[in-house]
Structure 1
C-alpha cells in the first residue's frame, strides 16, 4: 500500500497527510474548492503530495480518509469510492452540521451515514477522537511503553486490518471496538474522546461509554 487519498484539507486531513508522508506514503489530497486552492499546502508537503479533485483522490487512494464536515458528506460522489477502504474521521457537531434526527435519537452513527452515502466502499471509523496536532506530537514507535492507542470500528475485518496497519505505522497502537455501529462509543463527550490513553485505558473508556439518551 503506497497512496493515501485524503478528502478534506483541514486540520485532520492535512495532519494525516504529513504523518503519512513522513512514513513514505504518497498522498493525493482534495477539497471542495478544487486543486488550485491546495497548491500552497502541496508545496509545503513536498514531492510525495499531489492535489486532485475529490474523484481523483478517491480513485488514487489505497486508503481514503474522509475528513470533511459531516454536513458535507451528501455531496460525495459514490462511484469513485466503490471498492475502496474509506476512513471516517467525522464527528457530529449540531452547531456546525445542523440537527440530524437520526443522530439526535441515536438510531444510527456518523460512520453508518457515510456508509449509506458510499454503499460500495468499506467504511472504517478512525481518527475522530484525537486532536489533529497530536497525530504528530504523540506518535511513538511500536513497543513504546504507554503507547497511545486509537480505535477502529467497521463491518469488514480485512478493511479494519488495513487501517490498523496504517495507524500502527504512523505511531499508535490500535483497539478494534467491533462493528461500524459501535463507533458511538468514542463520539464526542464520551470518556475516551480525545483522551491520551494506551490500549488498556482506551478499552476501559470505550466500555464505560453511555448513550446520550442514557446520561
Structure 2
C-alpha cells in the first residue's frame, strides 16, 4: 500500500514514481482540490470528480480516504474502536478489496470507517460538502453524505475560503469545524 499525501495540483509530479510499483498495490489518495492553492485544473473545473482525476494522473486506481478530516483532527482525535462519539471518515474506491484495505487503515488510525462507495461518488466527501471536516460520527455521516449537493460544493469551497481570509486571528480546530458545519445549516 502507498499513501499519497501531496498537494492536489502536485499529483502529476509524483505519477512517475508509480511506474515500478506492483499493480496490486493499493494507492490511497488524501488530497483535496483547492484552486486558490495550486491553480485551477481544467478537467476538475469542467466537472471531473477529483478522485477520478487523481487516478487518471497516477495511471492506476486509488482509494479516497482521510481527505475529509483536518490535520488537527487526525493528530489529536483518533480513539480506539468502540469509543462513544468516535469520528467517522468516508472511504471511497472502485475496488471493494481496495476500499476494505482503506477502511481497515482508517479504523486502525482511530476513526470509524464509512463505506462511501465508488470513486464517482467521492465528490460527496470533497471540500465544503457537509461531510468535509465536520467531525461527524457514523450515525450522522451517512445522511450528511447523502445531502451533499455537487453544484454547491465548489461555491461553498470558494465562499469558505473568502470567509477564512477575513478572520483576524488563526482559528482553533474547533472553530474551523464549526465554520465548516455552519455552511450547511
Q: What TM-score does the superposition give when structure 2 sets the normalisation length?
A: 0.76
- For residues 37 and 69 of structure 2, the distance between their equivalents in structure 1, rounded to whole angstroms, comes to 19
Q: Runs in 1 of length 4+ with deviation above 4 angstroms?
A: none
Distance 1:80 1:131 in 2: 31
Structure 2 match to 1:192: 131
> How many residues of Structure 1 are paired with residues of Structure 2 in the alignment?
151
Aligned-CA RMSD value: 1.6
From the two aligned structures, give the one with the greater helix fraction: 2
1:79 maps to which residue?
19
What are structure 2's unaligned runs of at least 5 residues? 156-185
Conserved 8 A contact 1:123-1:154:
yes
Cα separation, 2, equivalents of 1:73 and 1:81: 16
In the aligned structure 2, how far is the partner of 1:140 from the partner of 1:69? 27
Alignment correspondent of 1:70: 8
| Cα distance in 1 for residues equivalent to 2:152 and 2:102 | 31
Q: Deviations over 1:138-160 (max 9, x none)?
A: 11111111211011001011011
Matches within 5 A, 1:27-38: none
Equivalent position of 1:123 in the other structure: 62
Give the distance between the partners of 1:85 and 1:118, measured in 2 at CA. Answer: 12
What aligned pairs does 1:1-215 form with structure 2 within 5 A after superposition? 63-76=1-14, 77=16, 78-83=18-23, 84-106=25-47, 108-119=48-59, 121-212=60-151
- Structure 1 residues 119-148: Cα deviation after superposition (integer angstroms, max 9, x where no partner): 2x4310011111112113111111111211
C-alpha contact (below 8 Å) 1:74/1:117 kept by paired residues: yes
State the 1:73 CA deviation. Answer: 1.1
Q: Which has the higher strand share?
A: 1
Instruction: Call closer, same or farther: CA 1:72–1:95 in 2, change over 3 Å.
Output: same
Greater relative contact order (CA < 8 Å, ≥ 6 in sequence): 2
For structure 1, which runs of at least 5 residues remain unmatched after alignment?
1-62
Query: Structure 1: how far apart are the matches of 2:44 and 2:109?
Result: 31
